[in-house]
Amino acid sequence: MKYLLITAALLGLSLTACTKKNDNEIVLGHFASMTGSEATFGISTDEGLRLAFEEANAAGGIKGKKIKLITMDDQGKAEEAAAVATRLIEQEKVLVLIGEVASSRSLAVAPLAQNKKVPMVSPSSTNPKVTEVGDYIFRTCFIDPFQGTVMAKFAFETQKYKKVAVLRDVKSDYSVGLADFFVTKFKSLGGDVVGDVSYQSGDVDFKAQLTKLKSLNPDAILIPGYYTEVGLIARQARELGYKGTFLGGDGWDSPKLSEIGQSAVDGAYFSNHFSNESTDPTAVEFMKRFQAKYNKTPDGLSSVAYDAGKIIIKALESATELTRENIRGELAKIKDFQGATGKISIDSNRNATKSAVVVQVQGKMNKFVTTVNP
Ligand code: PHE
């Protein structure tokens, strides 16, 4: 029995070894929050990526090879992100690393990817520092100086808010950056930031901060955080009697936001990468395929991930030889790529120049409000 088990184990091992050396496959690695309080980020991203790669494989693959995507769960933790990304690089020998959504986790992995010269593509991390790590780090989304400007102008010019307060997550590079960019722009437009207080991801009681902010009587509270905390914050603010509007950024984008926030998030506005009310033909075609595969409408994360997948496919196709270095070079050349989330060009800092949308939460729906071009 023991002998049999050992044989089976050995067989298992050699089988895995075989798959790894399969010359007919292009192995890509995705590190993502598949579980934890940001699980919809990882799951939605994985769904968008898998749809893109499945389409490429169905169309015959790339240079006769099929794309294989290996996804590893980082549980929404920076240390885990670094650990699984290392496994993807060292053991799975991935050609390209894809991830993360959260800027703090992309920042935990980018130095490792840069050091090993593995091209890394984040579909959705918007903090400027991510791609500053080095020339192997790319993103296919806009960055937060733009997103902060979009929301500051929306607040001041469209909504005519004069007094805004900020509640930022000091443990998140994304949250701190977006809060800062918003504040600078809102003040330069002539607005007043009457309060600026903080919390830490994982917190569940925000009453002290909210009591303070409520007493300052702001027209709106900007909460540049992720959906789990945002939902709780909105509810507690309403419980305390705050009647103003909530504003946020792409971190709100989750089907769970309205589940957690319930009616408290109704009427709130946030900036995002995509609206599923888009009538752009590429977007419409993408939504049709996504619906057919997953039987639901895509959120913004699935949409940016699909585009990131398509851009990686383009780079793989254009590379004369499939080396990490060549793919890095091809990613840098992406210009005017027509994606589901708009036209994407990678600039000299390896960021994408793209438009943003502002949406309003209405129950389970995010109602399209406006598109803002860079
Ligand atoms: N932009 C966020 C960050 O950098 C991540 C995010 C993108 C979350 C899109 C939701 C939707 O951390």
Give the model's pLDDT for residue 297. Answer: 96
DSSP state letters, 31-66: EE--SSTTHHHHHHHHHHHHHHHHHHHHTT-BTTBE
pLDDT tens, 183-225? Answer: 999 999 999 999 999 999 999 999 999 999 999 999 999 999 9
Could you tell me which CATH number the domain at 8-142+279-355 has? 3.40.50.2300
Q: Which of 31, 41, 248, 40 is nearest to 124 (CA)?
A: 41
Q: What is the domain partition of the chain in residue ranges?
A: 8-142+279-355, 145-272
The share of the chain scoring above pLDDT 70, in percent, equals: 94
> Ligand 1 centroid to 24 CA: how many Å?
34
Residue 16 pLDDT exceeds 70: no
Q: Is the pLDDT of residue 17 over 80?
A: no
Which tens digits make up the pLDDT trace of 319-362? 999 999 999 999 999 999 999 999 999 999 999 999 999 999 99
Q: What angle do CA 249, 252, 253 make, to 5 degrees?
A: 105
Summarised one tens digit per residue, pLDDT across range 61-84 is: 999 999 999 999 999 999 999 999
The pTM of the full predicted model, rounded to 2 decimals, is 0.94
Ligand 1 atom 10: the closest Cα is on which residue?
251
Rounded Cα–Cα distance for residues 341 and 354 (Å): 8
- Please report which confidence band the pLDDT of residue 15 belongs to, taking 50, 70 and 90 as the band edges: very low
CB of 124 closer than 6 angstroms to any ligand 1 atom: yes
Q: Tell me the DSSP string of 158-225.
A: IS---EEEEEEETT-HHHHHHHHHHHHHHHHTT-EEEEEEEE-TT----HHHHHHHHHT--SEEE--S
* Span 244-257, average pLDDT: 98
Ligand 1 within 6 A of 106 CB?
no
Q: Whose CA is nearest to atom 8 of ligand 1?
A: 251
Q: Is 148 in the pocket of ligand 1 (CB under 6 A)?
A: no
Closest atom, ligand 1, to C-alpha of 102: 12
303 ligand 1 Cβ < 6 A:
no
* Closest CA relative to residue 38, chosen from 64, 75, 9: 75
**Do 145-272 and 8-142+279-355 have the same topology in CATH?**
yes
pLDDT of residue 21: 60
Q: Encode pLDDT of 298-312 as tens digits.
A: 999 999 999 999 999
How far, CA to CA in Å, does 365 sit from each of 115, 266, 268, 294?
A: 42, 10, 12, 18
Q: Residue 19: which pLDDT band, with cuts at 50, 70 and 90?
A: very low
Question: Does residue 250 have its Cβ closer than 6 Å to ligand 1?
Answer: yes
The answer, yes or no, to whether residue 89 has pLDDT greater than 90, is: yes
- How many Cβ atoms from other residues are within 10 Å of residue 92's Cβ? 18
> What's the pLDDT score for residue 374?
87
Averaged pLDDT score across all residues of the chain: 95
pLDDT score, position 22 = 79
In this structure, which residue's CA is closest to atom 7 in ligand 1? 124
Residue 350 is given by DSSP the state S
In this structure, which residue's CA is closest to atom 12 in ligand 1?
102
* CATH number for the domain running over 145-272: 3.40.50.2300
Summarised one tens digit per residue, pLDDT across range 30-50 is: 999 999 999 999 999 999 999
Question: Which pLDDT value is given to residue 23?
Answer: 85
